[in-house]
Amino acid sequence: MNEVTAERPEAEEDHPKANAIVPPRSVAGTALTLVVAIMSFLACLSAGAVSLVSDAADAWGAQIAREVTIEIASIDPDVDDRILRAAAIARAAPGIGSVTVMSSEDAGELLAPWLGRQADLSDLPIPRLIRVAIADPAQVDLAALSQKLEAEIPGAILDDHRVWTDRLVAMARTTVALGLGILVLVLMATILSVVFATRAAMAGNRDVVHVLDVIGAGDSFIAGEFQRHFLLLGLRGGAIGGLAAMLLFLLFGLFVSVGAGTPEADQILALVGAPEVGLSGYLAALGIVLLIAVLTAATSRMTVRRYLALAAES
């Protein structure tokens, strides 16, 4: 009977699923996952901020670009005549929407925040202004309009707000560069954390590595065994951080839209215009999660290979 039992296909036929060659628990787990999650969160946050500022700057730029101002020095006595002529030239130009001549009182209103309402502006050489709204930016030739105004109306200047727009663009670029800089630093910190964690995992699994080496596993196989753990760890940590950042973006948008009218929300609206992180922000966050997972895996692979190469030389 015993022989029959021995001959039977026994438990090994339903052999349990093979264990990982590098034990998962020996690879720095929770602490590194947390580090990767924090790094991913910070990286996504900076990407979101970059997207927010960049979208806001575009919106500001678009608003300003849809309006230009004609300034006419007010010291000459025939200024009213020149204003009418300038307005006529502007109206005749292609792509122009409305042309509004601003009175001296309107100019005073604009200056009121700085000079106060009681100030007597009649003695000041405040230029007269004509607001020109642009209907179709593609058709407008501002350079030609400016030349024509300067040629036909002495003292007339076309201000296309380029100085202001240039400053906005410069600020937006600085913010984007800053955000990208932070992103690079965060990714570098992630890489370094993974390098240290991989080295620790290799040191903790020295016996496993030695046995694999002796049975001819090859560097690539050994690196692959470690890489698999770190890819999963990077994906998990990256996803936690990325999701937390996306949640924060959503809450931020919700706070501004729900709290509209309150001073805090108005302040945010005044600062960044559109209060929501756009699709580009979410896509960037998703990209960062994947990038961090790939970086984590690739870094661990390279660290293992370097470790093995050094071990072979010693």
Cα–Cα distance measured from residue 91 to residue 239, given in angstroms and rounded to the nearest whole number: 56
How many whole angstroms separate alpha carbon 24 and alpha carbon 297? 14
Q: Which residues from 209-238 bind other proteins, rule CB under 8 A?
A: 210-221
Q: Which residue has the tokens 């020149």?
A: 82
**Which residue, 19 or 118, has its beta carbon nearer to other proteins?**
19
Q: Which two tokens stand for residue 96?
A: 């122009």
Q: How far is the CB of 213 from other proteins (least distance, A)?
A: 8
Cα–Cα distance for residue pair 301/99, rounded to 1 Å: 66
Amino acid 180 reads: L
Q: Which is nearer to other proteins, 290 or 311 (CB)?
A: 311
312 makes contact with other proteins (CB under 8 A): yes
19 binds other proteins (CB under 8 A): yes
Residue (64 or 217) nearer to other proteins, CB: 217
User: To which H or E segment does residue 268 belong?
Assistant: helix 263-272
CA dist 131 → 121, 124, 157, 211, 223 (Å): 20, 21, 12, 81, 68
Please report, as a single letter, which amino acid is at residue 221.
Answer: F
Asked if 206 interacts with other proteins (CB under 8 A), we say: no
Closest approach of other proteins to the CB of residue 208, in Å: 6
Q: Is 18 in the site for other proteins (CB under 8 A)?
A: yes
Choose one: 15-23, 35-43, 84-92, 234-242; the region binding other proteins (CB under 8 A): 15-23
> What count of Cα atoms within 13 Å lies in the side-chain half-sphere of residue 122?
1
* Contact string (CB under 8 A) for other proteins, positions 79-118, x = contact: ----------------------------------------
CB 96 within 8 A of CB 90: yes
User: Would you tell me which residues interact with other proteins (CB under 8 A)?
Assistant: 6, 11-12, 15-16, 18-19, 21, 23, 207-208, 210-221, 308-309, 312
